A and B are shown apart, each in its own frame.
Chain A
Amino acid sequence: EAGVTQSPTHLIKTRGQQVTLRCSPISGHTSVYWYQQALGLGLQFLLWYDEGEERNRGNFPPRFSGRQFPNYSSELNVNALELEDSALYLCASSLRDRAYGYTFGSGTRLTVV
């Protein structure tokens, strides 16, 4: 069974640019979660999508947005990049029954210069 896949693995962008990160969940998983892991700040929850709808978002500005497609894959968009957006962005997916856990991808390393 393929795991959660994220693309690209690494990305370098210039301040002010826009970026799109992609996530493909495990087959059968309907929920996708996005997390930001910046140095020294731990794992910060960004967004939760379930059945194509945004269910919750963390304490991040509106320039962080995303969507979930009918095949349950997801995109995270970040506009007007700032230096502090440099981080590892992790995607996780889960079944409707959360007792089975959440499976994480390997992440996208974003560097803003």
Chain B
Amino acid sequence: AQSVTQPDIHITVSEGASLELRCNYSYGATPYLFWYVQSPGQGLQLLLKYFSGDTLVQGIKGFEAEFKRSQSSFNLRKPSVHWSDAAEYFCAVGNQAGTALIFGKGTTLSVSS
């Protein structure tokens, strides 16, 4: 079955520290992979996406993610977290055919001072 797993429900990171949010997927076809961020009561903002090419992709707000096919993972990283990064982060998988994105349950990021 197609699925996305985000193992960490809630993560707290100190401001200025590095961040890694984990995402594992199970998908039969060649996946398109996405990370979205959602602030409370808001819609989803696309941070970055991967569909082919360089497995390390850069996104907005200083985020990056690395696609590892052998591990079926697409982990999100940021070298130095800012208080404004506190939000919920969703990993999602799709494909070129346009089948609806499948989302993970999300990881809530808290940033401590």
Contact = CB atoms under 8 A, between A and B. Distances in A.
A111 interface: no
B98 A55 contact: yes
Interface string A81-113: 000000010101010111101111111010000
Contacts of B25: none
B96 A99 contact: yes
Contacts of A50: 98
Bin the interface of chain B by size: 20 to 34
A106 B43 contact: yes
Interface string B95-109: 111111111111000
Contact of B105 (A35, A42, A102, A105): A42
A109 B41 contact: yes
- State the majority secondary structure of interface residues on B: loop
Contacts of A92: 44, 101
Interface of B: 32, 34, 36, 41-46, 49, 51-52, 90, 94-106
8 closest A-B pairs by CB? A104-B44, A106-B43, A43-B103, A99-B51, A104-B43, A45-B100, A42-B105, A101-B49
Interface of A: 4, 6, 31, 33, 35, 42-43, 45, 48, 50, 55-56, 58, 88, 90, 92, 94, 96-99, 101-107, 109
Given A6-B43, A102-B46, 12 more contacts: A31-B98, A35-B100, A45-B102, A48-B100, A90-B43, A92-B44, A94-B98, A98-B51, A98-B95, A99-B96, A103-B46, A106-B42
15 contacts: A42-B103, A42-B105, A45-B101, A45-B102, A48-B98, A48-B99, A50-B98, A90-B44, A96-B98, A98-B97, A99-B51, A99-B52, A101-B46, A103-B46, A109-B41
